[in-house]
């Protein structure tokens, strides 16, 4: 996907003029899954795939003329009207409203956009859209006064208020702050983060897409978050003198103390979250030491937890994980929210070809389709292209 492609459609579908062009990426996450809304750490990086949007002020008070190039769908709507029916247009409508709340006097504009982040693969195509549109609105109407962090929060608020997913901040953060060649360790409570150079010599990072997308993924995601909140409420009731905002404030003893006060299911969810918090820190140490074998072991442990305790895996993802193990892949796990999407695999270069061939063959034998393969290239965050 390139800028000329988007530009040609923008010219064709609107009044022949060109506008400004913005890009934002999708993301991978090395480890730290479902920890962001629990105040924990995550380890994402931006990828070299994303969304490109061309935008131009159209002189109307609040009419958005929008064209989704990938869906070949054109829609005009007004910000003073109800949110549009088309789900893709809600991202535009929502981010306009959220940027407005941050003081950006959004008026009418034309927009055409396209993307190459595979949808439903757990690489955050939606965060890429939100960040890209936020970046464009900030530039067109806001004198670029909205800070990158506030754009992250505007994207997250769009999910909460207009899409219905109570997500954390990892995806939008990675899309805004990503840097080519670096992954980032973010503390989601303090919002401090560090760039880590990521160049595991002798290894490759590859995604295998199960091509499964569960219908109820967003409500199941919201349920997981609710379970964590239930445990936090139980902790606050048990220890009135202490402050519990998220599971970040709880240690293993605290969790054990409320085991009988919460449902078995909620306990299991929280047990995963505390384990994952430990794993992200161990993973950072391993990365600093260049110990990729240990990093990989932690990835497998995360998969196990996501599958058995957090229950966000599915048969196909577990199968891909087993194939990785059988092929001697260093680390493999579900990436992103779960309920379908990709596994992320850290594999020694000399095992790569054999692993991919075997995964394609066995997956096709069992499920009748070949998993898509994406080699991960860590790319840049949101930016203006023209
Ligand atoms: C989705 C959400 C993120 C995060 C991950 C799981 O990608 O958007 O905020 O919670 O799931 O780690």
pLDDT at residue number 213: 85
Q: Ligand 1: which of 168, 226, 277, 303 to mutate, judged by most atoms within 8 Å of the beta carbon?
A: 168
Q: What is the mean pLDDT of residues 373-385?
A: 97
Q: Is 168 in the pocket of ligand 1 (CB under 6 A)?
A: yes
Catalytic residue among 171, 209, 266, 318: 171
Angle at the Cα of 224 (from 218 to 227), degrees rounded to 5?
Answer: 140
Tokens found for residue 85? 């029916």
Grade residue 334 by pLDDT with cuts at 50, 70 and 90. very high
pLDDT at residue number 120: 85
Residue 168 CA, closest ligand 1 atom number: 9
Residues 310-325: pLDDT tens digits?
999 999 999 999 999 9
pLDDT at residue number 103: 98
H or E element in which residue 68 lies: strand 63-68
pLDDT at residue number 159: 96
Is 171 one of the catalytic residues? yes
Residue pair 312/224 in contact by the 8 Å Cβ criterion: yes
Q: Is 276 in the pocket of ligand 1 (CB under 6 A)?
A: no
Q: Is 120 in the pocket of ligand 1 (CB under 6 A)?
A: no
| Res 214 pLDDT > 80 | no
Angle at the Cα of 112 (from 110 to 118), degrees rounded to 5?
Answer: 150
pLDDT at residue number 47: 97
Residues 96-110: pLDDT tens digits?
999 999 999 999 999
Could you tell me the pTM of the whole model?
Answer: 0.97
| Res 215 pLDDT > 80 | no
Grade residue 217 by pLDDT with cuts at 50, 70 and 90. confident
Cβ partners under 8 Å of residue 372, min gap 6? 118, 121, 208, 209, 211
Tokens found for residue 22? 């913005």
| Res 162 pLDDT > 80 | yes
Domains in the chain with CATH codes? 3-199+380-384 (3.30.230.10), 203-375 (3.30.70.890)
Residue 260 DSSP class = G
What string of DSSP letters covers 129-193? Answer: HHHHHHHHHHHHHSTT-S-HHHHHHHHHHHIIIII-----SHHHHHHHH-BTTEEEEEETTT--E
Residues 108-138: pLDDT tens digits?
999 999 999 988 889 999 999 999 999 999 9
**DSSP bridge pairs for 311:** none
- Rounded Cα distance between 299 and 302, Å, is 5
- Rounded Cα distance between 364 and 183, Å, is 32
Q: Is 37 in the pocket of ligand 1 (CB under 6 A)?
A: yes
pLDDT at residue number 272: 98
Grade residue 228 by pLDDT with cuts at 50, 70 and 90. very high
- What are the angstrom distances between the C-alpha of 111 and each of 52, 54, 77, 94, 220? 10, 6, 12, 15, 32
Cβ partners under 8 Å of residue 121, min gap 6? 207, 209, 341, 342, 372, 374
pLDDT at residue number 119: 85
């Amino acid at each position: 996907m390139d800028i000329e492609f988007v530009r040609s459609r923008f010219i064709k579908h609107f009044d022949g003029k060109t506008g400004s062009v913005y890009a934002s990426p999708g993301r991978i996450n090395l480890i730290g899954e479902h920890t962001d809304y629990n105040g924990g750490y995550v380890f994402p990086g931006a990828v070299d795939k994303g969304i490109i949007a061309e935008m131009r002020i159209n002189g109307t008070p609040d009419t958005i003329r929008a064209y989704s190039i990938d869906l070949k769908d054109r829609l005009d709507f007004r910000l003073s009207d109800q949110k549009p029916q088309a789900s893709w247009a809600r991202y535009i409508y929502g981010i306009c409203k959220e940027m407005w709340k941050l003081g950006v006097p959004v008026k009418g504009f034309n927009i055409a956009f396209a993307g190459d982040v595979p949808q439903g693969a757990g690489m955050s195509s939606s965060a890429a859209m939100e960040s890209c549109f936020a970046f464009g609105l900030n530039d067109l109407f806001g004198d670029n006064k909205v800070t990158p962090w506030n754009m992250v929060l505007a994207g997250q608020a769009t999910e909460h208020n207009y899409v219905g997913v109570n997500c954390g901040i990892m995806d939008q953060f990675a899309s805004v702050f990503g840097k080519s060649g670096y992954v980032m360790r973010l503390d989601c409570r303090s919002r401090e983060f560090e760039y880590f150079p990521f160049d595991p010599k002798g290894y490759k990072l590859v995604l295998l897409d199960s091509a499964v997308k569960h219908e109820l993924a967003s409500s199941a995601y919201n349920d997981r978050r609710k379970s964590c909140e239930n445990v936090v409420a139980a902790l606050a009731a048990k220890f009135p003198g202490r402050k519990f905002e998220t599971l970040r404030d709880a240690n293993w003893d605290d969790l054990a103390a409320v085991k009988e006060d919460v449902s078995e299911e909620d306990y299991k969810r929280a047990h995963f979250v505390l384990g994952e918090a430990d794993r992200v820190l161990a993973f950072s140490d391993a990365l600093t030491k260049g110990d990729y074998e240990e990093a990989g072991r932690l990835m497998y442990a995360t998969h196990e937890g996501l599958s058995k305790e957090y229950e966000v895996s599915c048969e196909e993802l577990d199968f891909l994980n087993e194939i990785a193990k059988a092929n001697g892949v260093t680390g493999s796990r579900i990436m992103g929210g779960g309920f379908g999407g990709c596994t992320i695999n850290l594999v020694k270069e000399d095992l790569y070809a054999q692993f991919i061939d075997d995964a394609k063959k066995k997956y096709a034998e069992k499920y009748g389709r070949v998993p898509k393969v994406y080699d991960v290239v860590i790319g840049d965050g949101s930016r203006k292209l023209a």
